[in-house]
Amino acid sequence: MGNITEIGQATRTIDGALCLSSAAICDLFDVTQKTLSDWVSKGAPRAAHGWYPIKGFLAWRGIIRPEGFIDTAINLQQRKLEVEISLKESQQELTSLKTDITSGKYLERDLVVEEYRRFFLVLKRAMLAIPRRLGGMFAAYVEPVEARRLEKELTATVNRALNSFADSVVIKDA
């Protein structure tokens, strides 16, 4: 504390907390009075006008925790270890994926797309044939005009269902 001639001038006990004067805090953190004023407006603890509790101020600056000083070397080593573990896990997943691809566990995209096209074409044809078959069955029990109307209504419903399926939209009741 270059500007403070006596330690007694720089310290005071306020409400049981050891406090430093604003000049001592500025000297300790190598900041100006303006910076100290900005810190106070941002929430730095102040015991009284011009006096700052040492422990509270150091905790506010992140230098200590309530239980004591932070050992940054240990924190950095622990963080480095955590990152290295995460990297090793990612590398292991990548290696496993490459092995699975090489062994044939995954299908080629183009092959899957072509198979789906064929499947959905067959599904569409089958679904569009249902109304005609049901219309033929209805014809034995109702008038031909009524059977044709039911067939048209079923065809419209199937077409809406297919369009909704293709557009990924929920089917709405007519």
- pLDDT at position 8: 72
- pLDDT at position 87: 94
This prediction's pTM = 0.37
- pLDDT at position 62: 77
Task: Classify residue 132 as left (phi > 0), alpha (psi -120 to 50) or beta.
Answer: alpha
- pLDDT at position 1: 45
- pLDDT at position 73: 56
- pLDDT at position 6: 64
Helix (H, G, I), strand (E, B) or coil at 98: helix
- pLDDT at position 149: 92
Compute the 3-state secondary structure of the chain and give helix, strand, coil in percent, each to the nearest 5: 65, 10, 25
First vs last C-alpha separation in the chain: 85
Task: Classify residue 4 as left (phi > 0), alpha (psi -120 to 50) or beta.
Answer: beta
pLDDT by residue, tens only, the chain of 174 residues: 444 446 678 888 989 889 999 999 998 889 999 999 999 998 889 999 999 998 888 888 877 765 555 555 556 777 888 899 999 999 999 999 999 888 888 888 788 888 888 988 898 899 999 999 998 888 889 998 998 999 999 999 999 888 887 776 444 554
Whether residue 31 contacts residue 6, with contact meaning beta carbons closer than 8 Å, is answered with no
